[in-house]
Structure 1
């Protein structure tokens, strides 16, 4: 059985003077949260084998900071469907990658909707939240854990 860690990008900077949503960067709190994610996953032995990331600047920065903070060596791929796509796109990405632990970094409302589709549970993914799902062969899943960003940065 494989697993997927879903990470909603960390908090973005709405006041950065960027009018294009795709290019909006992280704010200071978001950078701190992304670093906490990277450290936590490294410390607990949950470093992904592969990261699939939205092309949005805030998502890519979240991944870059997490990788640096946790000293991960996994490859990353930018995937347009994680910005523009649907729940079906995200489920397909999660279920077709044959790695023991995949990380998907994306956006709302697709993150919460995908988790609900896979697990049947109504979950909310605030910015910077982290959830791990064990995938079954039938593309259903079991929620193993969900960390809101506050728990990550307060430790």
Structure 2
């Protein structure tokens, strides 16, 4: 099984939404989400199921990823702890699951899930739209626990965008 752990893209702190939950993406966030969607497709990291926080910025991140997969929006993923994220994953189905959430929980979740962290300097602070792809060794999602992930890939939008611009 494969698990993709993504933090939402950059949000707009200047937006007057009245609540943190309703804060949208900014222009950089939109560009980052589109780039990470392209990166996921280019590498064949396509989810069978998306587990997504109900916050506006996570929903918009998902929209701009432009992936074709069933989605479960979960209130419990809004500013969730690593343990809450694990609980959500344990109820998943399919071979590849994309989890979209928030820091600090997402950074903690990623650190706890992998046996050995990637050698990337930004892994521990998990910047916006950071994406970890890991292989999970378990008989099913209900059996998943911390420490079962083997890192397949880790990327951040700034580097993905720079590589795309360099190649283009």
**What residue in structure 2 maps to residue 17 of structure 1?**
16
On the 8 A contact 2:49/2:94 being kept in 1, the answer is: yes
Map of 1:151 onto structure 2: 159
2:141 counterpart residue number: none
Select the residue among 81, 98, 109 that pairs with 2:76: 81
Q: CA RMSD in A?
A: 1.5
Partner Cα separation in structure 1 for residue 11 and residue 41 of structure 2: 24
Q: Report the TM-score, using the length of structure 2 for normalisation.
A: 0.83
Structural mapping, 1:19-58, within 5 Å: 19-58=18-57
Deviations 1:75-132 (CA, angstroms, capped at 9, x unpaired): 1110112114321111122233131110000000101111111125473310011111
3-state SS of the aligned residue for 2:132?
A: strand
Rounded Cα–Cα distance in structure 1 between residues aligned with 2:83 and 2:54: 18
Q: Which residue of 1 aligns with 2:135?
A: 134
Aligned structure 1 segments of 4 or more residues deviating by more than 6 angstroms = none
TM-score (normalizing by structure 1): 0.89
Aligned-pair CA distance for 1:12: 0.3
Corresponding position: 1:98 with 2:93: yes
**Which secondary structure state, in structure 2, belongs to the residue aligned with residue 22 of structure 1?**
coil
